[in-house]
Amino acid sequence: MSDPDSEAGGEWKELQAEADAEGKRLDQWLAAETAPDLSRSRVQALIRAGAVLHGGKPITEPKRKVSAGERFTIELPEPEAPEPEGEAIPLDILYEDDALIVINKPAGLVVHPGPGNWSGTLVNALIHHCGTSLSGIGGVRRPGIVHRLDRETSGVMVVAKTDRAHRALAQAFADHGRDGMLERAYVALVWGAPQRASGIVDAPLGRSTHDRTLRAVVSSSRPDARAAVTHYTVLARYGPGTPEERIASLIECRLATGRTHQIRVHMAHIGHPLVGDPAYGRAFRTKANRLPSDLAEQARAFPRQALHAKLLAFRHPETGETLRFEAPIPHDLAELIEGFNRL
């Protein structure tokens, strides 16, 4: 699954190996310790997914031998959720045919059910709208979903309605548009301004060691490191002075990969986190002190990361035609940008 989005894991449990665990395989010992909740095959899958830690670092080899006294932490999966039901949630539909549907997702709408959001999601809305036509490849909790946007990110999304469309679109997103037939562009309002008018952030991402629901730039040698590349272009700089003295800027970001929180982490990594970002921009909130009082109040009150998926282009999985969709910047973000335009 691709595109920026967070997905909280389950409960973390710490286990210590006693003397009788000496020399046992890690998957064998963990399966015994967590029985009957987890089977050995499930434990093996969790290990390979990086959900078992030793000394704070993931272990990905199920055959690893256990030594007495060692402590391991395992992320227990969430209990199986009930199958989502259709809900009459309005959809802003940009395009629809028998194979797929393209929507303009509003900020605040969760894409698929998960902990704390078992209803009221885009999936619930799609089930109500599409009925039984949705593709089942994504599983009962994610029918038709081939990519995601964060809850508070607005913009263009495509959803598959048939298995054939799902396979083709999922492959296109997995390939990150290497064939040139997938194009994704976002606009972001960020603190400060890059000196260069355009650039590339090439920095691998992995789970944050401080909060596993978040991502961080990590060493490429880490087992969970995933390549992540963002191309950015400065559209406007706000405030007086040289580029490095500007208060904020409007950036267009184009994705060469689609990792969880990619744009948010990459822009923070180069010193320009998104305005309103509660996870990666908290340390920059004092930047608002440099703004006129009315704009400062508006920026502090902005309830989400200032990020919008404005463009999505892809090849239709049935006809081969290139489809291109743009979603206008939503009213709340447009008002905030207009405030910075007046600086």
For 303, residues 6+ apart whose C-beta sits below 8 A from its C-beta are: 152, 276
- pLDDT at res. 254: 96
- pLDDT at res. 243: 79
Q: Closest Cα partner for 194 from 237, 231, 230, 228?
A: 237
- pLDDT at res. 69: 93
- pLDDT at res. 85: 87
- pLDDT at res. 3: 44
Q: Which tens digits make up the pLDDT trace of 252-297?
A: 999 999 899 999 999 999 999 999 999 999 888 888 999 999 999 9
150 is a catalytic site residue: yes
Q: Which tens digits make up the pLDDT trace of 52-96?
A: 999 888 899 999 999 999 999 998 776 555 678 899 999 999 999
CB 253 within 8 A of CB 4: no
- pLDDT at res. 90: 95
Provide the 3-class DSSP secondary structure of residue 128: helix
In whole angstroms, what is the distance from residue 339 CA to residue 343 CA? 7
Write down the catalytic residue from 5, 27, 150, 277: 150
In whole angstroms, what is the distance from residue 191 CA to residue 146 CA? 31
- pLDDT at res. 241: 87
In whole angstroms, what is the distance from residue 214 CA to residue 206 CA? 9
What token pair was written down for 147? 């990519």
Provide the 3-class DSSP secondary structure of residue 167: helix
Please report the domains of the chain, with CATH numbers, ordered by start residue: 11-76 (3.10.290.10), 83-174 (3.30.2350.10), 186-309 (3.30.2350.10)
- pLDDT at res. 1: 40
Amino acid type, 334: A
Ranges of residues in the chain whose predicted pLDDT is under 70: 1-10, 78-82, 137-141, 177-180
Amino acid type, 193: A
